[in-house]
Structure 1
Amino acid sequence: MTDADEAPPAPPDRLRWVLGAIIGVALLVVAGTAGWALRGSGTAGGNAVDVGFAQDMSTHHVQAVTMAGYERDNTTNAGLKVLAFDIETSQEGQVGQMSGWLDAWGKSRNNAHPMAWMGNAHGMHAMAPGQLMPGMATEAQMTKLESLHGHALDVFFLQLMIRHHQGGLPMAQYAATHGGTSYVRTFAAAIARGQASEIVEMEQLLRGLGGTPLPAPTN
């Protein structure tokens, strides 16, 4: 085979896409395996916090994955491309893990009463039908994000993602303390640590771009 016959290397963007797809499939397989392991051991969700946290944090994460995926595909800022990829892949994996638990527990992946599992802790309260969980972007904000490019995109992405993390952080902290099973508490604590660290990193990046954070979510 001559050099001329050799296939050209895949473009970097395609390699990243392929890598992301491989990681996503692998994480879903791991989540499914974890779910079967829980079934086999007879382990069930310890309390309503376990179930509510897995349901609501999954929904919360899905929006973050969507925002991060758009930023990754459209930013020209190398540092933000890496950050967005990290958020996208880590939260995809966490959704897979929580979905595996819910399947193993025989519970729906959707919560009919979002946030009710937290009571009034951290000022949280059960959501009314159609009401967004703390920190989640509105439909109008998502539409705006997906219309932007360049510097404006980077600033708005960081503003929305900081606020998104600020809304999800109390959920993870509450589950880390009140979860009924040790693996849920450990998992929630890891999410809380990761999001707290990313908030600091994103605030620094935002200020470096001349932007300021949005007001923190209120409940």
Structure 2
Amino acid sequence: MVAPTASRAGAAVPGADSADAGFARDMAVHHQQAVELSFIVRERTDDEEVRRLAYDIINTQANQRGMLLGQLEAWGLPKSSQRPPMAWMDHHMNYAPHDGSLMPGMATNTEMDQLRKAKGRDAEVLYLRLMTAHHRGGIDTAQGAADKAEEPLTVRLAKGMVSGQRSEIKLMADMLKARGAKVSD
């Protein structure tokens, strides 16, 4: 871990390569895709339950993304890094970015295109499956931050993400079942 630097007020802030900064950068990117997926499905279905979930995800994750980027700004740290995603975690991630999917749980460009083309129930099921995978990847990342971060705000935010996304995974499983689908066929 890189030693913390001093802020203008003299308080220590996380270093550029810290778990706090790495999590803020990575989760901001991860959340941006969840927001994009949710906007896409809102255009592809008239189902109020799916549209309401998508609306909730858009608002929650856009808000959290703003908080994460705001933390970086307050710490005087860059919003991007030359380091690979998830480098701040101690364990080696057995994940190779591919087809636009930069981190575990992120949809590929191909899957994003499939969602853009799907309509109605097909769009709903695909969205729910993609978002379930997305949340699972996000939970692993947020749990890593909850375990490794040093800033109390980062730890609280990460723990809240874990709890909220676990709850939404259960909801999405019920929504898939109601549509006669499993998380994955």
Over 3 Å counting, the alpha-carbon distance change for 1:69 and 1:188 in structure 2 is: same
Match of 2:93 in 1: 124
Deviations 1:103-140 (A, max 9, x none): 122222123221111121xx635756976200111111
In structure 2, how many angstroms separate the alpha carbons of the residues matched to 1:108 and 1:177?
Answer: 23
- 1:155 pairs with 2:112: no
Whether the 8 Å CA contact 1:116–1:126 is kept in 2: the answer is no
Match of 2:14 in 1: 45
Q: Which amino acid aligns with 2:87?
A: A
Whether the 8 Å CA contact 2:97–2:103 is kept in 1: the answer is no
Task: Report the TM-score, using the length of structure 2 for normalisation.
Answer: 0.87
What number of residue pairs does the alignment pair up?
Answer: 176
Shift of 1:93: 0.4
Name structure 2 gaps, 5 residues minimum. Answer: 1-6
Matches within 5 A, 1:127-206: 132-206=102-176
Match of 2:39 in 1: 69
Shift of 1:196: 0.5
User: Alignment partner of 1:161: what SS?
Assistant: helix
Shift of 1:153: 0.4
Match of 2:30 in 1: 60
Shift of 1:208: 1.1
Deviations 1:177-203 (A, max 9, x none): 211111110110001100010001001
In structure 2, how many angstroms separate the alpha carbons of the residues matched to 1:83 and 1:124?
Answer: 30
Task: Report the TM-score, using the length of structure 1 for normalisation.
Answer: 0.74
Q: Which amino acid aligns with 2:161?
A: I
| Larger fraction in helix | 1
Pick aligned residue for 2:77 from 82, 99, 107: 107
Identity over aligned pairs, percent: 37
Between structure 1 and structure 2, the one with the greater Rg is 1
